[in-house]
């Protein structure tokens, strides 16, 4: 039997991008997917894709910023499918802009609530059920969770928080049968890019220079890599060989990476 056959997987941020493609990939493996995001209409669209792919899907509109909504998400999953085998914390909100240009500091709190606290709320609610089934927790972080990036101070802070939280939780759960996988994608085609907040809190701040200067991984390729890591119950997935090399260089000579990032920023229009 395939590792995901008949398993129940809760996915936040499932209405588009990585979350949507991961849900469909899991459905193709015969999983039961619980789709969470704010847009019910978009979730229904993803549900249809999952069912056409051969899996069962449940739509639970959820705002991960609300702890009670996260508890209801978990309760609904358990009510319908009897338990939870995996939780994928994928909901995310982007932010772009130099810190000195920020005019609305509440943006930092908003991004932290979605990217970090949303994962904490969902994980806390799901943990007893995951322990009962010796399940898997997945945190979709970012390469900016391992190394800071110019114009990404708010976003990088949330991903560093995720990395620290889930690394700590992994140690706490040692011996319980629950594994923790932290995923660090690079540049991926996703709505999080077009919906990123700018320094004034407005949305739609796509970085054209970034789009032109970096090769984007499509969301399905990213989802397939995550699924493979889930099936192997790996502890960490860093995508792109170049990223692994940069992280190794950073560990030895951190100043080099800072200078490279600064140089990239200066060459942007």
pLDDT at residue 210 tops 80: no
Beta carbons of 60 and 36 less than 8 angstroms apart: yes
Q: Is it the case that residue 29 has pLDDT exceeding 70?
A: yes
pLDDT digits (tens, 9 = 90+) for 112-124: 999 999 999 999 9
Provide the b/e sequence for 91-105 (b: ≥16 CB within 10 Å). Answer: bbbbbbbeeeebeee
Burial of 250: CB neighbours in 10 Å, binned 0-12, 13-18, 19+: middle
Bridge partner residues of 33 (DSSP):
9, 57
**Which tokens hold the place of 145?**
């969770």
d(CA 199, CA 253): 31
Q: State residue 208's pLDDT score.
A: 45
Rounded Cα distance between 32 and 260, Å, is: 44
* Chain Cα centroid distance, residue 259: 28
d(CA 8, CA 52): 17
Distance between alpha carbon 183 and the CA centroid of its chain, in Å? 7
Q: Is the pLDDT of residue 205 over 60?
A: no
Structural domains in the chain, sorted by start:
8-241 (3.40.50.720)
- Residue 201: the pLDDT is 85
Give the global pTM: 0.87
Cα 231 to its chain centre, rounded Å, is 17
CA-CA distance, 131 to 250, in Å (whole number)?
36
pLDDT in tens, 155-167: 999 999 999 999 9
Structural element, H or E, at residue 36: strand 32-37
pLDDT by residue (tens digit) across 129-187? 999 999 999 999 998 888 778 888 999 999 999 999 999 999 999 999 999 999 998 77
CA distance 163 to 33: 25
| Backbone Cα Rg of the chain | 18
Contact between 36 and 66 (Cβ < 8 Å): no
Q: Are 127 and 180 in contact (CB under 8 A)?
A: no
**For the purposes of burial, counting CB atoms within 10 Å of the CB of 132, is it exposed (0-12), middle (13-18) or buried (19 or more)?**
middle
Active site residues: 155
């Amino acid at each position: 039997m395939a590792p995901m056959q008949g398993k129940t997987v809760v996915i936040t941020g499932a209405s588009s991008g990585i979350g949507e493609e991961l849900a469909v990939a899991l459905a193709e493996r015969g999983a039961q997917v619980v789709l969470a995001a704010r847009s019910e209409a978009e979730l229904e669209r993803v549900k249809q894709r999952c069912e056409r792919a051969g899996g069962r899907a449940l739509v639970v509109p959820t705002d991960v910023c609300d702890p009670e909504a996260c508890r209801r998400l978990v309760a609904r999953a358990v009510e319908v499918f009897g338990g939870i085998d995996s939780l994928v914390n994928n909901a995310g909100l982007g932010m772009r802009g130099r810190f000195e240009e920020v005019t609305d500091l509440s943006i930092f709190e908003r991004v932290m609530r979605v990217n970090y606290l949303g994962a904490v709320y969902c994980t806390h609610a799901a943990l007893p059920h995951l322990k009962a089934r010796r399940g898997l927790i997945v945190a979709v972080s970012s390469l900016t969770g391992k190394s800071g990036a110019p114009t990404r101070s708010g976003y990088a802070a949330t991903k560093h928080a995720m990395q620290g939280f889930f690394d700590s939780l992994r140690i706490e759960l040692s011996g319980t049968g629950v594994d923790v996988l932290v995923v660090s994608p690079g540049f991926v085609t996703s709505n999080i890019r077009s919906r990123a907040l700018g320094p004034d809190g407005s949305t739609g701040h796509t970085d054209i220079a970034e789009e032109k200067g970096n090769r984007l991984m499509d969301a399905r390729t990213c989802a397939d890599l995550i699924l493979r890591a889930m099936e192997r119950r790996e502890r960490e997935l860093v995508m792109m060989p170049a990223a692994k090399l940069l992280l190794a260089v950073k560990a030895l000579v951190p100043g080099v990476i800072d200078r490279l990032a600064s140089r990239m920023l200066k060459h942007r229009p």
